[in-house]
Amino acid sequence: MIEIKNVNKVFYQGDKVINALSDINLTIKQGSIFGVIGSSGAGKSTLIRCVNLLERPTSGQIIVDGIDLTELSKQELTLTRRKIGMIFQHFNLLSSRTVFNNVALPLELAGITKKQIKNKVEGLLALVGLEDKRDVYPANLSGGQKQRVAIARALASEPKVLLCDEATSALDPATTQSILELLRKINKTLNLTILLITHEMAVVKGICQEVAIIGDGKLVEKGKVGDMFAHPKTALAREFIRSTLDLSIPEDYQARLQPTRIENSYPLIRLEFTGASVDAPVISHVAREFDIDISILSSNMDYVGGVKFGLMLAEFLGSEASAEQAIQYLKDQKVEVEVLGYVV
């Protein structure tokens, strides 16, 4: 449905040349939900804006539904954009129009009769669950409601593709979930292809089937969501996943941390479970087998696409020898082990 072929985007800042996107290739299947994840400044916003040519790629092709957008004239592009819906982080609703009239805007642009507009808009408001807000101005809506209006507006011209530019980044977690739920619903009922970009792992995990990681303007890795999180192939992908799982050492622990083992200190260990790790109850096993007590400090485990993965910070309380053995055992189980220091 969407093909991004060899896309490059270069910005010039005075004499400085900034490669916002370098040689990006992506294919997004009809009816799928595709996520692009990356930290801020990675170029993901530029990428999604290239898909409807809000940002014109310096080189490369953008093919949506078989049409190469980069070759269209201005007028043709304007008309083709009507088949590509887009929602934004800051909603971009017109403050001067009511909910009804905001949703009606794309239909007005297309020159559709008042009566047809009324039917269409009422149907859309029902779809997003805002029938009772039709005559309210956006200023009186919550963030989640605004994004629902924006979604209804984006769907008004019956697009084949919906682009979501950080659509949930300004929303709280619960609202994010309800918006994702709505996106999943319209993906199913309308067979709409959704491309979304985000910096939130939860969003990708929540609704995407496929994901691409982008860093420094380059496509680092792409694949099925489960595979990606379980078996990250590249260092950058792993780093990104780890950063979203970030477990930092509490300050008071940090203060008590010694670089070497001294009397009455115990190792503080970071365990990283990946898709490669043996799927077994290793923690209790280690405790039993090597006669150590394991005190879990914090843990961030997740389950995506049939694999458990995540990070854990734990103290291994026991003799030096048994702790060593336990660490070796965990390594054998393909759990990544890192001794961060020794806590007094």
Partner 1 sequence: MSFNAVVTWWTENTRLIELLVDSLGQTLVMVFTSGFIGFALGIPLGVLLHLSKKNGLLENSALNKSLGIVVNIGRSIPFIILLVALIPVTRFIVGTSIGTAAAIVPLTIGAIPFIARLVEGALLEVPSGLVEAAQAMGAKPIQIINKVLLPEALPGIINAVTITLVTLVGYSAMAGTVGGGGLGDVGIRYGYQRFDGTVMMITVVILVIMVQIIQSVGDHLVKRVDHR
Dihedral angle computed from the Cα positions of residues 180, 85, 157 and 70, in that order, rounded to the nearest 10 degrees: -160
154 binding partner 1? (CB under 8 A) = yes
145 binding partner 1? (CB under 8 A) = no
The helix or strand, by DSSP H or E, that contains position 194, with its residue range, turns out to be strand 193-198
* Edge-to-edge strand list for the sheet holding 16-28: 67-68, 59-64, 2-13, 16-28, 218-224, 210-215, 33-37, 193-198, 161-165, 84-88
Q: Which stretch binds partner 1 (CB under 8 A): 137-145, 230-238, 298-306, 336-344?
A: 137-145
Residue 13 region, left (φ>0) first, then alpha (ψ -120 to 50), else beta?
beta
Q: Which is nearer to partner 1, 54 or 67 (CB)?
A: 54
In angstroms, what is the minimal distance from the CB of 130 to partner 1?
Answer: 17
Question: Site for partner 1 (CB under 8 A): which residue of 86, 117, 241, 249?
Answer: 86
139 binding partner 1? (CB under 8 A) = yes
Question: Site for partner 1 (CB under 8 A): which residue of 52, 147, 168, 187?
Answer: 52
In angstroms, what is the minimal distance from the CB of 132 to partner 1?
Answer: 18
85 binding partner 1? (CB under 8 A) = yes
82 binding partner 1? (CB under 8 A) = yes
The helix or strand, by DSSP H or E, that contains position 268, with its residue range, turns out to be strand 266-273
Could you tell me which residues come within 8 angstroms of residue 181 by beta carbon, excluding any fewer than 6 positions away? Answer: none
160 binding partner 1? (CB under 8 A) = no
Helices (H) and strands (E) in the chain, counts: 12, 15
Question: Site for partner 1 (CB under 8 A): which residue of 97, 184, 199, 270?
Answer: 97
95 binding partner 1? (CB under 8 A) = yes
108 binding partner 1? (CB under 8 A) = yes
Residues that bind partner 1 (CB under 8 A): 52, 54, 75, 78-82, 84-86, 88, 90, 92, 94-97, 105-106, 108-110, 137-139, 153-154, 157, 163
